[in-house]
């Protein structure tokens, strides 16, 4: 001090409060973003809700399900489960503001498989269940390792899933009905989009076409719009319901929609016959493993083509059963709604997801 009055604060001392304020503001904003306080994923951008950021409060007893991402980014109409399945409704939303209030969070694996950061981040409320959802086969399900011990329930086409969501099923009719077979003018059809010359199903098809004609639709072949699938395929006697990989219970829309809903006889390539017979009558389909060679299968199909009585036997099950296979995402969520309402809340984790889903 030189006795000439107080000294002015140094520039550094002025800067400290300003920097502290910036750090606090940045931390708050980061927490806001991390906790999912955005609107529906990817809908508006990071500043969309800064003027209305309060998280919803649950004020009704209806079970609430948060869909973490729209599957493959495709939005769809979320319908009432009472209309789709005749079961009690859930409140289903894709708005991430419900992350702390929802009873369950359904996470579609293909949309989060690239990074753990794409998954919901903790802490998870004790009443909330995180559900791993996947309809792809293990051959097309990458990066399961970092999801071990992360989820509470599984939801897939596998029969041993906590929430069983198959690609289709058979419903029993209240009374028998007459079986009507559409007029058939063609022999064998196949719709394929994922064409790989080295795949077992393409190799088998190439052998089969050496003995009988097979009309192929899809990418790299004859175009077939989705709204023309059933009317076109119904003209054929047989349909090649060949799966892209062989895994337990992996029986997809290739059988349920393309074949059964178009009233063709499915020729299947996938899991063993015994696995198919868990879902279908044994006399409703033809398995390629029933024949030692592709030529043997071709000869059998030609025999049935010449014998209308034997061919008709593959439709007798339809007197009592009806195939359901034209499904959408909404009905899969309603299956989750039904199970979650029936399943008591208790703590569990899916320990080794990567070993179970094989």
Residues noted as catalytic? 136
Q: Determine the length of the chain.
A: 358
Say how far apart CA 149 and CA 130 lie, in whole Å. 11
CA–CA separation, 28 and 152 (whole Å) = 29
Location of structure tokens 């072949």: 221
CA torsion sign, 213 to 219 to 224 to 230? Answer: positive
Phi first, then psi: give them for residue 201, nearest 5 degrees.
-70, -35
* Burial grade of 182 (CB within 10 A; 0-12, 13-18, 19 or more): middle
The pairing of strands 91-93 and 321-324 is: unpaired
What does the block give as tokens for 350? 């899916």
**What are the tokens at 291?**
């024949």
| C-alpha–C-alpha distance, residues 252 and 168, integer Å | 7
Cβ atoms within 10 Å of 44's Cβ, excluding its own: 10
User: 217 Cβ partners below 8 Å, 6+ apart?
Assistant: 189, 190, 191, 192, 223, 224, 232
Residue 330 gets the label, from left (phi > 0), alpha (psi -120 to 50) or beta, of alpha
> Rounded to whole angstroms, how far apart are CA atoms 109 and 132?
7
Phi and psi torsions of 302, nearest 5°? -65, -35
């Amino acid at each position: 001090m030189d006795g000439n009055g107080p000294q002015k604060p140094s520039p550094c001392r002025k800067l400290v409060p300003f920097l502290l304020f910036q750090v606090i503001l940045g931390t708050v904003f980061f927490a806001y973003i991390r906790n999912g306080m955005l609107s529906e994923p990817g809908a508006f951008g990071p500043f969309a809700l800064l003027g209305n950021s309060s998280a919803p409060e649950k004020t009704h007893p209806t079970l609430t399900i948060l869909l973490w991402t729209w599957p493959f980014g495709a939005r769809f109409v979320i319908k009432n489960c009472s209309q789709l399945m005749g079961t009690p409704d859930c409140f289903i939303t894709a708005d991430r503001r419900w992350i702390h209030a929802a009873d369950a969070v359904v996470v579609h694996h293909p949309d989060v498989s690239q990074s753990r950061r794409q998954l919901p981040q903790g802490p998870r409320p004790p009443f909330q269940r995180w559900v791993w959802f996947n309809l792809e086969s293990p051959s097309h399900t990458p990066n399961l390792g970092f999801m071990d011990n992360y989820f509470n329930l599984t939801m897939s086409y596998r029969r041993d899933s906590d929430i069983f969501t198959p690609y289709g099923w058979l419903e029993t009719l209240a009374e028998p009905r007459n079986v009507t077979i559409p007029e058939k003018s063609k022999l064998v059809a196949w719709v394929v989009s994922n064409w790989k010359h080295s795949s077992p199903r393409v190799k088998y098809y190439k052998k089969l076409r050496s003995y009988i004609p097979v009309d192929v639709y899809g990418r790299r072949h004859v175009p077939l719009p989705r709204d023309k699938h059933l009317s076109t395929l119904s003209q054929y006697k047989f349909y090649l319901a060949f799966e892209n990989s062989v895994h337990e219970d992996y029986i997809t829309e290739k059988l349920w929609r393309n074949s059964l809903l178009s009233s063709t006889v499915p020729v299947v390539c996938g899991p063993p016959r015994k696995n198919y017979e868990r879902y279908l009558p044994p006399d409703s389909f033809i398995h390629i493993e029933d024949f030692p060679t592709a030529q043997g299968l071709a000869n059998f199909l030609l025999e049935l083509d010449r014998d209308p009585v034997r061919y008709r036997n593959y439709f007798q099950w339809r007197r009592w059963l009806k195939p359901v296979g034209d499904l959408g995402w909404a009905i899969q969520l309603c299956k989750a709604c039904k199970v979650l309402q029936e399943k008591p809340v208790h703590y569990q984790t899916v320990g080794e997801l990567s070993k179970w889903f094989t």
